[in-house]
Structure 1
Amino acid sequence: MRAEEGGGVGGARPRWRLGAEGPGRRPAGVVPEPPVPDLTPQPPEPAPPPAWEQALEESLAFLRRRLAGDYTVDEFGFDQDLTDSVMLPALRPLYQKWFRVETIGMHHVPAEGGALVVANHSGTLPLDSMMTAVALHDDHPAKRHLRMLGADLVFRLPVIGQLARKQGGTLACNPDAERLMTSGELVGVWPEGFKGIGKPFRDRYKLQRFGRGGFVSAALRTGVPIIPCSIVGAEEIYPKIGDLKPLARLFGAPYFPITPLFPLLGPLGMIPLPSKWYIEFGEPIRTDEYEPADADDPMLVFNLTDQIRETIQHTLYRLLSQRRNAFLG
């Protein structure tokens, strides 16, 4: 029986004739029938859980880790789990919604290895250091943690001192800074100290003295790059127009600020004004071209300190010239 006359298996018509080409082989010029599409309805993809449910799940997971002791604290007291799960989320609304921080030059911050971030200090309360830490974690591709160097007064304060340690802060001294940078950490320093953060509003964005350059010596000994950081916006959050020195001495503080809203409005005066912030990370200054012994050269340390200070100051002036309004940007 010829193939074209036969019914095939079960009487079905074959898709092409079997001829000289042999069984199972497609003759030249014959196009196969297109496959029948699968019209079976597919189940819809599950919708992502709502934000509150995801936040609740993360909070419960955090509590389970804390109760089980499933977290680590390094030799300086840094608790990464607490920082990522509690401290950074608490600061994030300020960073994203209140100050609307924009970062510039984040590519200048290395993705790994030790480095020293040197920034200007201002704002009456040190929110600028906290916002810089959020920026380097949230906006940097490597999500780096900033190990901040602070004055001893910070670590003597109840609760605040312990939280500063948990977030990765440590005393602003060369041995601690060098150990952190040698181990590959990103370290932050604000060399103006209380002179910068507590200066009057009329002196805003005018850098104060950078100390004796101890941070430069630490960078020279470890060979890590120094990254100038310029912060615009922090000066306007608590405009300091006066200082109650008797109260400052009573509390053992470097100053007791008077602002347009504090202490006039009491606790409400502690709410920072919603200024628009810019944080720019400048081109790194290399120190690996020097020998560790050069850290003891006072002229070299002075020149590098002055170079960093001038870089930050000029960047501040440039950012200010481009800003139209302190609150709108």
Structure 2
Amino acid sequence: MTPEQKPQAAPGEGGGLERRIAGGLAFLRRRLTGEYEVDDFGYDEELTDQVLMSLLRPVYEKYFRVEVKGIENIPSKGGALIVANHSGTLPLDGLMMQVAVHDNHPAGRHLRLLAADLVFVLPVINELARKAGHTLACAEDAERLLERGELVGVMPEGFKGIGKPFSERYKLQRFGRGGFVSTALRAGTPIIPCSIVGAEEIYPMIGNAKTLARLLGFPYFPITPTFPWLGPLGAIPLPTKWTIQFGEPILTDGYPPEAAEDPMLMFNLTDQVREQIQHTLYKLLVQRRSVFF
């Protein structure tokens, strides 16, 4: 084969590879020299974009094949509180929602999740959660983030939702005392209901070893059709097909400042958010063809 016959690289192909290599080397240099920034919550945006999202994306795209609806309901700038149902035995739904917002929103916005105290006492998980932008599920942290114009995600069902038995799938548990509504009212930010279908079936929880859970300090210890019977293999989630739908925003900026202290208003708004999520869940369940396709 003569030099003239050798296949030619596509225009810019070599340059693109060189740029990626150079970018990767620059990223490693900043990591090694400490020339990167984290905010006062410990959030490392560069690490999240370059590493954590890259690790989660194949699970999101290829394994759970997440379909996203209503992304236009998330504002392009400014604070907003996304309120979602919680399920699946392990909190993969929050991580998939984080990828859904970042990869589908035209502005590539980041979602800052409010997580349970347990997350921040687990070795390694604690550090990764902080780096990914998660913070304690408390009103003070949520309000600070909203006032800074961040998107904040909360799952008010908490362990009641994620640890419920499979027989109660897609039935929303109690939403607490409406603290998330009070936070949104004080910050004057919209509340965006979010419904997630598919997470309930990844680890069908058919039992709860309560004694073992107490010994380990966990809120529950799940028994599923595959765990603990298959050992580590039983911890692999089932490859269900997911849908994440963001509903129309519920605006709060028209309420007076003292509205955040009105228990009846908080109850009504909490109930409105809960009913909207539950109604959308039922609608999505009717529309889906099967759990896996």
TM-score between the two structures when normalised by the length of structure 1 = 0.84
Residues 1:51 and 1:267: Cα distance change in structure 2 (over 3 Å): farther
| Percent identity of equivalent pairs | 69
CA–CA separation in structure 2 for the residues paired with 1:148 and 1:213: 17
Opposite residue 202 of structure 2, the aligned amino acid is I
- Is there any run of 5+ residues in structure 1 with no aligned partner, and where? 1-42
Of residues 209, 213, 229 in structure 2, which corresponds to 1:248? Answer: 213
Of residues 142, 151, 154 in structure 1, which corresponds to 2:107? Answer: 142
Q: Secondary structure at the match of 1:118?
A: strand
Aligned to 2:5: none
Q: Secondary structure at the match of 1:148?
A: strand
Of residues 266, 269, 272 in structure 1, which corresponds to 2:231? Answer: 266
Q: Secondary structure at the match of 1:212?
A: coil
Shift of 1:286: 0.2
- The 5-angstrom pairing of residues 150-189 of structure 1 reads 150-189=115-154
Aligned to 2:71: 106
- When the two chains are superposed, the root-mean-square deviation of aligned CA atoms in Å is 1.7
Which aligned segments of 4 or more residues in structure 1 are displaced greater than 3 angstroms? 49-59
- The 5-angstrom pairing of residues 54-73 of structure 1 reads 56-73=21-38
Opposite residue 162 of structure 2, the aligned amino acid is I
Aligned to 1:279: 244
User: Which structure is higher in helix share?
Assistant: 2
Opposite residue 107 of structure 2, the aligned amino acid is A
Render the CA deviation track for 1:235-291: whole Å, top value 9, x for unaligned.
Answer: 011110111111101110000001111111111111111000000000000000101
Aligned to 1:319: 284
Render the CA deviation track for 1:141-160: whole Å, top value 9, x for unaligned.
Answer: 11111110011111111110
Shift of 1:51: 9.2
Aligned to 2:3: none
CA–CA separation in structure 1 for the residues paired with 2:17 and 2:234: 31
Query: What is the count of residue pairs matched by the alignment?
Result: 286
CA–CA separation in structure 1 for the residues paired with 2:215 and 2:26: 44
CA–CA separation in structure 2 for the residues paired with 1:56 and 1:85: 13
Q: Secondary structure at the match of 1:116?
A: strand
1:197 aligns to 2:162 (yes or no):
yes
Render the CA deviation track for 1:93-128: whole Å, top value 9, x for unaligned.
Answer: 000000000100000000110000000000000000
Shift of 1:70: 2.2
Q: Secondary structure at the match of 1:165?
A: helix
Q: Secondary structure at the match of 1:141?
A: coil
CA–CA separation in structure 2 for the residues paired with 1:184 and 1:321: 36
1:85 aligns to 2:50 (yes or no):
yes
